[in-house]
Amino acid sequence: MDVSRFPLIPGKIPPIITHGEGVWLHTSNGNKVLDAGGGAIVTNIGHGRKEIAEVAASALRKLDYVVPTFATEARIQLVEEVADNWLPDPSWRCVFNSGGSESVDAAIRIAQLHHVACGRTDRYKVIGRDVSYHGATLGALAVGSHDRRRKGLESALAAMPKTSYEDAEQLEKVIEIEGANTISAFIGEPVIGAAAGAYVAPEGYWQTISDICQRHDILLIADEVMTGFGRLGATMGHQLFEFTPDIIVSGKGLGGGYAPMGGVYTRPDVVAPIAETDLALMFYTFAGQDLGCAVSKKVLQIMREENLVTQASEMGALLRARLVAEFQDHPNVSDIRGAGLMHGIGLVADRNSGRAFPRSAGFAEQVSAASFEAGVWVYPAGSGVFDDALLFGPPFIVSDSHIDQMVTTASRAIDLISSRI
Does 406 have pLDDT greater than 80? Answer: yes
CA dihedral 75, 77, 79, 81 (to 10 degrees): -150
Mean pLDDT score, 220-248: 98
* pLDDT confidence of residue 411: 98
Which pLDDT belongs to residue 1?
Answer: 83
Residue 285 pLDDT? 94
| Mean pLDDT of the region 155-162 | 97
Domains and CATH numbers, the chain: 3-48+307-418 (3.90.1150.10), 50-305 (3.40.640.10)
Phi, psi of 389 (to 5 degrees): -155, 155
User: Pairing relation of β-strands 199-200 and 24-27?
Assistant: unpaired
**pLDDT value of residue 415:** 98
Task: Give the model confidence (pLDDT) of 281-330 as tens digits.
Answer: 877 999 999 999 999 999 999 999 999 999 999 999 999 999 999 999 99
Residues 352 and 249: their CA atoms lie apart, in Å, by: 38
Task: Return the pLDDT at 30.
Answer: 96
Q: Tell me if the pTM is above 0.95.
A: yes
DSSP-derived 3-state class of residue 403: helix
Across 407-413, average pLDDT: 98
Residue 147 CB burial class (10 angstroms; 0-12, 13-18, ≥19): middle
Banded pLDDT at 10 (limits 50, 70, 90): confident
Residue 419 pLDDT > 80: yes
pLDDT of residue 12: 84
pLDDT in tens, 341-357: 999 999 999 999 999 99
Tell me the sheet residues that pair with 47: 22
